[in-house]
């Protein structure tokens, strides 16, 4: 394990402003550091406790000190991501995802209604008539609400899948049973925020697993989980972003390039930032496999000092102690 003082000495704390509110925030903070294999990122959301956040640090250390496995492909298709915006903003959002033929639409946002969700999804269907639609509720519905909402959404056309309609794994299994194959169910938080990601397979709770590198502890951990879910229950995998900077996104792209299935990945989130630590150009709806190395100018433009920097470095030290 790399020495914590070495990590702290290399650490740069950054804050990336965002174009739209996403996941309840308007700026993304993270720590990035360079090691012998490249750059790594440590950016768990502030509400995560140290035990959960430590996995994010493990992923960053893997990237900076071990590097990634050899990819199976040199580019990965991605989905567009539509936050909980009004219908009038949908064309503007989709324009940031040139060539994408799959869109993931946020639904069940706190304070919003099903009518607003239906209008947003309808606007995406209109703007992308030949595309596939995914919806993501982030566990925001009860079982009954999920059943009703998905039925209403299906009236407008098919869904590729409904992601994390309910919070509990048992509820996902019940929603999947009630849907009876009318719509696939995907698990996200039930994979990345649990001690036992295999429980989704054991309960028959999902057709798809949405996996993210940082919350699972690294690219190799993602590939292990993906292989186990496939073997146990035929669950297919979508690799997604944890709203990563360009540094963290490099790890997500590496993982997606190693997954046998070519499922459109949820990695097209770089366009949400007004400034970033590098570029992953979206060409023809796909991202090429490449790692970024931030320049000093890019780092200085978004670097955080003072109390927020101290807060992040203290958190890094605590999480590192849990990895020992």
Annotated catalytic residues are 106, 212
Measured CA angle at 161 (ends 186, 212), to 5 deg = 40
Cα–Cα distance for residue pair 237/223, rounded to 1 Å: 10
- Output b/e per residue, 193-219; b: 16+ Cβ within 10 A: eeeebebbbebebbbbbbbbbbbbbbb
Pairing of β 25-35 and β 12-22: antiparallel
Q: Find, among 57, 61, 69, the residue nearest to 215 by Cα.
A: 57
Check if the beta carbon of residue 17 is closer than 8 Å to that of residue 26: yes
- CA gap 276, 299 in Å, rounded: 8
């Amino acid at each position: 394990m790399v020495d914590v003082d070495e990590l702290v000495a290399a650490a740069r704390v950054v804050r990336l402003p965002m174009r739209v509110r996403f996941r309840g925030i308007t700026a993304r903070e993270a720590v990035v550091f360079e090691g012998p294999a490249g750059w790594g990122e440590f950016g768990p959301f502030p509400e995560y406790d140290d035990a959960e956040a430590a996995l994010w640090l493990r992923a960053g250390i893997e990237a900076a000190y071990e590097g990634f496995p050899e990819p199976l492909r040199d580019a990965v298709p991605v989905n567009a991501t539509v936050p909980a915006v009004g219908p009038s903003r949908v064309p503007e959002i989709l324009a940031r995802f040139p060539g994408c033929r799959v869109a993931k639409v946020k639904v069940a946002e706190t304070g919003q209604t099903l009518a607003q969700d239906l209008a947003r999804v309808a606007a995406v269907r209109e703007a992308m008539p030949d595309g596939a639609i995914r919806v993501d509720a982030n566990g925001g519905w009860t079982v009954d609400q999920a059943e009703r909402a998905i039925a209403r959404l299906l009236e407008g056309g098919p869904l590729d899948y409904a992601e994390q309609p309910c919070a509990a794994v048992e509820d996902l299994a019940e929603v999947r049973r009630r849907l009876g194959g009318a719509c696939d169910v995907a698990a996200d938080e039930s994979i990345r925020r649990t001690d036992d990601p295999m429980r989704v397979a054991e309960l028959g709770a999902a057709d798809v697993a949405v996996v993210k590198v940082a919350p699972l502890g690294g690219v190799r951990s993602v590939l292990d989980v993906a292989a186990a879910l496939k073997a146990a229950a035929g669950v297919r995998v979508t690799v997604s972003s944890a709203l990563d900077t360009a540094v963290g996104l490099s790890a997500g792209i590496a993982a997606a390039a190693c997954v046998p299935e070519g499922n459109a990945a949820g990695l097209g989130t770089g366009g949400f930032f007004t400034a970033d630590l590098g570029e992953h150009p979206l060409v023809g709806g796909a991202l090429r496999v490449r790692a970024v190395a931030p320049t000093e100018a890019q780092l200085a433009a978004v670097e955080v000092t003072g109390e927020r920097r101290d807060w992040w470095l203290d958190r890094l030290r605590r999480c590192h102690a849990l990895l020992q």
